[in-house]
Structure 1
Amino acid sequence: MCCTAATSRRSPCRYRLHRDLDDLAERLTPLRQDDPPVPDVPPQHARDARWVRPERVGEVAFTEWTRR
């Protein structure tokens, strides 16, 4: 992502974030499945989850919490 927080609705960072999320959704939609790919997922975590076959690899790094 291009920045950690987008304060303006017209921010280029906010546009980039939506574009990246749209791209991710397009790549993951064909991999969607009804059941979790791993056993024993707690119900509170599974309730709102959308499961995909584990065919993609990604790297995520936590940088900081942002305010709502």
Structure 2
Amino acid sequence: MTGRARLDRARRLLDTPPPSPVPGQLPLDRPQPTCDAGNPRCHAVPARPYPCGWRCEAHRPVPRPS
């Protein structure tokens, strides 16, 4: 396949419309995890996964000094 043919094929692929999304298959359909620290729960976004659960920047675990 020559360079020109590869470019033409790429342009054709880029011009085709994307497939229709299937509900529940996109990662954007899932709720974003929230911070589960505190009582009542903090529910701050964004939260990151830690071994102790999902935590926001304010509730992240502090590393122990070695």
TM-score, reference length from structure 2:
0.28
Larger RCO (CA under 8 A, 6+ residues apart):
1
Q: Kindly name which structure, 1 or 2, has the bigger radius of gyration based on alpha carbons.
A: 2
